[in-house]
Every structure is written in structure tokens, then in C-alpha cells.
Amino acid sequence: MAAAACMSLLWLAACSTPTAAPDSKAAADGMAGASTVRGRGEASAPLARVPAADREVADSVVVSASRAGPDARDGGSSPPPPPPPPPPPPPPPPPSPLGYTDSEPAPAPSPGAAPPAPNARNGGALEPVIERREHEPPLAQSPARRAGQLTAADHDDLLNPDLYQAYADRFRQRLGRKLYPAVDTGQQLRIRVVDRDGRPAPLSAVTVRRADGEALRLMTKADGQVVVFPKLDRLGERVEASVTAADGRVVSGVAAPRPGAPRTLTLRLPGRAKPVQAVDVLLVMDTTGSMADELSYLTAELSDILGTVGERHAGVDIRAGLLFYRDLGDAYTVRTYPFTGDRQAVQASLAHQSANGGGDFPEAMQVALQEADAYPWREGAVKLMLLVADAPPHESDRAQAWTSILSARERGIQVVPVAASGVDDDAQYLMRAAAAVSQSRYIFITDDSGIGAAHAEPSVDCYVVTRLNDLIGRVIDGLVSGRRVEAEPDAVIRQVGRYDRGVCRR
């Protein structure tokens, strides 16, 4: 009931006319061809299986057999001419991505095992006949992409609270509606939890009292901090926060938020803090038709990132999961792959995806966010959600999307939006709000690479452009280590505005 009350305060009624769809996005989705199958969510499943909706693509090659042997003839007639030699056998299938099928797959052969015996039912004399299912256009046979081609930049609205507040006010006044979340960064209060030596205490449970006495519970990030916002979080003039130490002692303090520079309340715990030992990364990605121009590049970049993050944090237990989404009525609404530590399986599943469906501009982002929030995130892990998208939810679904973002925040999940080509003002606002409220950064792909459709210029005052894989890798490094990681000078392609370690100087 409290969550519902909070939502009613955060969201007001939408205007009667829907947001106009940008022509490029709607056209791209339409050209990809939307399916008439009703959208459906798919539950996570064991490894080495393919989602049921995924069979339309992953299992699009089907092997069947025909009867062998020459035709029986009567009367001693001469036999027919010999048939032409059979075609060469097809190459072996690629490694099975994560997911499931309706039937149990054959067990993978052990290394060094002999090849399987011929099929006894046809005596090994037949070559398979290849059939292709046409429920969805087959995977595009595009050349393999390599990482390091897309370019991008990022912006941290918590480091630029006044600029974000001015941007948010302009956005809401221009559209003349109140359907969007109001994150009052101009009055943010930082609650910093440290150990007896003054080092950050990550993943500490902090309780903040709202003005009505209700408890708001948040987890400190790798830097030992949680950020609260007086209006968004319904706080009083004086905010009481507390944290419980390992020995059961409660440490509390009081602070008064005020406009201007962020205030910090420090809570010191007895004992020593433990470093981050586990990380869960969930990639949530829009795979509608408008993403087709960048999908193969993005999957190559993200596959590379997952590999390099594991190498940089060798002592940390890192799991990755995948969640792809389209829109209601497409071949699937969401397609989920469970968390796993098998990077090769994740990379194979990434390479397996294709873009299709959509048709209009908004997509079912709210369903994807709800599914992502329900994933089995580990309690003692840094939790990161990479949200790659180019469109917002439908207008009637944006309240649900924001509810899921706030729920993810309370679970300690940091949303890292990655804005692809064609992002409009609505999508940019929602994605930046998600990054700010979850103590993350807004990433946007730029035109410097020349890949894909034109990328909208973001409403930010300063940024530096680097390669996308380098940028996301640095952002994840910072969110895992608790220390901001800047680009090396030779990695910067160009700079906009007076950029100073994430702060836009005037």
C-alpha cells in the first residue's frame, strides 16, 4: 500500500494524445516485419537449452530424413540411372546458447570422443534434408563484427545536480504533462557508511525514515554510499538514517537536506569492511527492428565487455544474464537467459540474437524491467543492469516502468542505460532518471563511428567520446571498485564542453 501511495504521488495522469512516433524508428520497426503472434514472457530455464519462443530462430534449421534404397521394379526392367552424388554434409551446429527447448538436447560429447555412429534407422546411407522454418525472417548472414567500433560518451547527473534540475524542468514544461518521475537532484543527501578505518563499507543495509515514519531501505554501493532525494523519497526536514553492524550494534545519525551542494551524513561502523566479492550483470536489450542497424555491433561490443570485466576482476565471482525484449504482439515480448558464470555460453547466446518486430515507436520496456527486477540477484553482490534501448515504454505503461526502477533501486540494482540510435526526448528522460536514482551513469552512442542511423545529441553540457567497449568497461570497473575511472588521454576521440572528471564546469 505504501508503494502504491508513493506511485500516486510520483505520477499524474497522462495527456489524452499519445506521443508521436519518430518516423525513422517506426519505419525501421515496420520494415522489419511485426509478427501476429501474441507477446509472451518466458521464464528462466536451465543451461544448454533454448527458449521456446527462441526456437523460431535458434532452431530454424531442422533435419529430417527420407526413405533410402532404389525403387523396386517388376519384370526385369533396366534400373534407373544412378543418382548424382549427395551434397556434402552440413557443418556441425554451433554451441547451444543458454535457454530451453521442448525436447531434451543430446548430451555434448566429451573432449576427444569419437564421432557419433550413423543413424541406425536409415543405415547411415542418407544425407539430411535441410528445411527452414519461416515463422520469423532467418538470421541475417552479416559478416562477423569485432569489438571496438562503436563510439559513445556518458553523463553523471548526480555530479551535475543543478544542470540536471534545469534540464528536467525544461523537459516537463515543454511537454506540459506530469507523467514523468521527478528526481530532485538539487537537494540530494548522501549517506556514507565507512568502517573503523574510514574505508567504504559496500553492500551495507541503510534504513532511512520518511516524514510519515515509514522505513526506506537501501543498500550502499561499492563506494559505501546511498543517495536519497527529499521529494522523491518523501523525507522530512530532518532525515534520520541508521545501519546495523555485524555485531548487532545500530549506528544512526541525522541530517537536514538543503538546496545546493549535496550534503553527506557519515555513519562509522565498528570492525573492518569486506571488499566486493561478487557481481551480477544483467544485459536488458531492445531487439525490435529499429535496432537492426546496430545489433550485430552491439552484441560484439557487449560480448567483449563481459570478457574483459572478468579479466580485470579475476578475484571476483562474476555472473551474467541476458534479457531481450520487443513489444506486445511480436514473436516474443521477453526472452530470458539465467545468470551464469559461463562467459562463453553468454557470448554464444548474444551472437544468436536478431532484430525484428516493433512497428510503432514505444516498446514493452516495462515488461522487461519487471522481469529484470524479478531475476535471482544475489544478496551479497554488486548488481548491475545494462539497459540498451532506443525507445521508451508506451505512455500508459511508463508508471509501471518507473515502479520497477524504484523496486530495483531498493534491491541495490544500479541501472546503466545505453541509448542507441534514434532515442527521443521521452526515452532519454526516463533513462537518465533511472541512472540518477540508482546511482549510475547515462551512456549514449554517438555518430563518431559512422555506424547505424543518426544518434540524437543528448541534452548534456559536457562529455568525452571514446570507444563504447572501453567506456562501458570503465563504468562497470567504477561501479565494482567504488572509484570513478576516467579514460586515458589517448583513448579520447573528442570532447564537448568543459569536462572535468564527470563535472561540467561553467
254-265 pLDDT, tens per residue?
999 888 778 999
pLDDT, tens digit, 9 for 90 and up, residues 56-83: 333 322 222 333 333 333 444 444 555 5
Does residue 288 surpass a pLDDT of 50?
yes
User: What is the pTM for the complete model shown?
Assistant: 0.74
Nearest to 7 by CA among 268, 194, 245, 232: 232
User: Would you call 445 helix, strand, or coil by DSSP?
Assistant: strand
State the number of CA atoms in the 13 A half-sphere of 81 facing the CB.
2
Q: Give the chain's domains with CATH numbers.
A: 151-180+275-505 (3.40.50.410), 185-268 (2.60.40.1120)
- Give the pLDDT score at 493: 98
For the segment 121-175, what is each residue's pLDDT rounded down to a tens digit? Answer: 333 322 222 222 233 443 343 445 767 789 999 999 999 999 999 999 898 888 7
| CA 38 – CA 279 distance, rounded (Å) | 35
Strand (E) or helix (H) holding 444: strand 442-445
| 3-state secondary structure (DSSP) of residue 436 | helix
pLDDT tens-digit series, residues 320-359:
999 999 999 999 999 999 999 998 899 899 988 998 887 6
pLDDT at 246: 87
The three cell numbers locating residue 473: 568497461
pLDDT of residue 81: 55
